[in-house]
Structure 1
């Protein structure tokens, strides 16, 4: 099984994908992906919300449990949803611990900033592995004014480099860099002893992560820094339309899909 320590020693790039249910997690795990992220992106992809902000800790815990039960080899990382951390340290630690104790996550991911450095330190002290997350942090969408690229000027870039080092020093085992310039991501990767995992951050990170819907082509839209490696939406649509047409035409169910019990012929 992949471990947080094992990620540090990998020579090949780290692969990470999101999953929000047991069926998807089993496929991702079977495909040999290193890390399964039960992302709060479930808000947009699986729960019908307009953003990640409404996602609750209960929703993340439920789906993390489903993913963990279906996963044998990949590291399972649970996203800490909006306001489940950062208000009070003790509550933050308890919430993170719940995802490990009750939902069987291997680690948690926290959208990071200056306010999460000491919290990361405390969580790692009590045995909760923490994956940090800098750059575009979707839980701050109202503050950022949209899902725009981060770290594009000197001051912002230097702050990301500084915060990356601070979270590594605090004990984070890995760092997600989202939607930042590739040269900034490369500089952070070079500066850290922990692995970086990029999404919209160029090729120089130690690994890459995508939302599963984007990777397999399940959604109607995907961000420009993503790539669709399949057309699952098209396949699903074709299959569902085929089912509807077969039922409406009487083609399904056919004789081979039915059973007749001869002893019941005189029932009426």
Structure 2
């Protein structure tokens, strides 16, 4: 049975942790879905696999292309797609157009927007009113990397209160869930208790209603690991060794 946004909210009420990972292609998406992941995020962290240094260069067309492939590989999990930088911030019309294209062209069930400042909250409210499910994202927002950096957020009382207020405002605007990225565990716990919608943590401690990581980090494929990620296997090393063995056999004429 396919996972829905309402089911995620029910799971929060039941105390059932939500499992989320990222995917950018059909093969990985199919594996994650088969393994029982609840939510698959076609995240703008895809910038890494496309060779970009930040998430900023990603285009809507690139996201649509990869989201279509992911959706084709998924039967059960809820698929959420990030709206890339400057595809929703300019105007409500732009946001509606971008989010609408994601749902119409990819078959994904929801979009994710970064930030909780008033203009974004207003945009979220209008998208939700138009029938577009939206996931929020506060704390460390990678699309604002040049403004906030990659350091942990919410360490001061002032910034913690701002992030809490953003999360509350996003819930009131109608988001069905919210990502809490790289904030203090105490702040994540407070937000999780205050909200009736599920919080999905990434580098935000153990008190969130669910957890998300970048799949390439989990599988040990990333060249650089964030401090909060855990490597469950080292596929990078496995792949390099397999290719070296293949290359050696070809060069020694042992294969085929």
Q: Give, in whole Å, the separation in 1 of the partners of 2:8 and 2:237.
A: 35
Deviation, 1:176, is: 0.2
Aligned to 1:127: 131
Aligned to 1:138: 142
Which residue of the other structure, out of 23, 29, 35, is the alignment partner of 2:39? Answer: 35
TM-score of the pair, normalised by structure 1: 0.92
**SS of residue paired to 1:99:** helix
**SS of residue paired to 1:111:** coil
- Residues 115 and 137, structure 2, Cα contact 8 Å, conserved in 1: yes
- Stretches of structure 1 lacking an aligned partner (at least 5 in a row): 254-268
Deviation, 1:214, is: 0.6
Aligned to 2:211: 208
Deviation, 1:226, is: 0.7
**SS of residue paired to 2:113:** strand
Aligned to 1:71: 74
Looking at both structures, which has the greater relative contact order when contacts are Cα pairs under 8 Å and sequence separation is at least 6? Answer: 2
**SS of residue paired to 1:15:** strand
Q: Give, in whole Å, the separation in 1 of the partners of 2:249 and 2:211.
A: 42
Q: Give, in whole Å, the separation in 1 of the partners of 2:107 and 2:178.
A: 21
1:8 aligns with 2:6: no
Comparing 242-251 and 127-136, the one that deviates more: 242-251
Q: For residues 174-208 of structure 1, give each alpha carbon's deviation from its aligned partner in whole angstroms, at most 9, with x where no partner exists.
A: 00000000000000000000000000000000000
Deviation, 1:59, is: 0.4
Q: For residues 206-248 of structure 1, give each alpha carbon's deviation from its aligned partner in whole angstroms, at most 9, with x where no partner exists.
A: 0000001111111122111110011111111111111101111
Aligned to 2:88: 85
**SS of residue paired to 1:101:** helix
**SS of residue paired to 2:108:** coil
- Residues 3 and 76, structure 2, Cα contact 8 Å, conserved in 1: yes
Q: Give, in whole Å, the separation in 2 of the partners of 1:244 and 1:18.
A: 31
Q: For residues 234-268 of structure 1, give each alpha carbon's deviation from its aligned partner in whole angstroms, at most 9, with x where no partner exists.
A: 11111111110111111111xxxxxxxxxxxxxxx
1:151 aligns with 2:151: no
TM-score of the pair, normalised by structure 2: 0.97
**SS of residue paired to 1:177:** strand
Structure 1's consecutive aligned runs of 4 or more residues displaced over 3 angstroms after TM superposition are none
- Equivalent residues in 2 for 1:177-196, closer than 5 Å: 177-196=180-199
Q: Give, in whole Å, the separation in 2 of the partners of 1:107 and 1:242.
A: 43
Q: If you compute each CA radius of gyration, which structure gives the higher value, 1 or 2?
A: 1
Q: CA RMSD in A?
A: 0.7
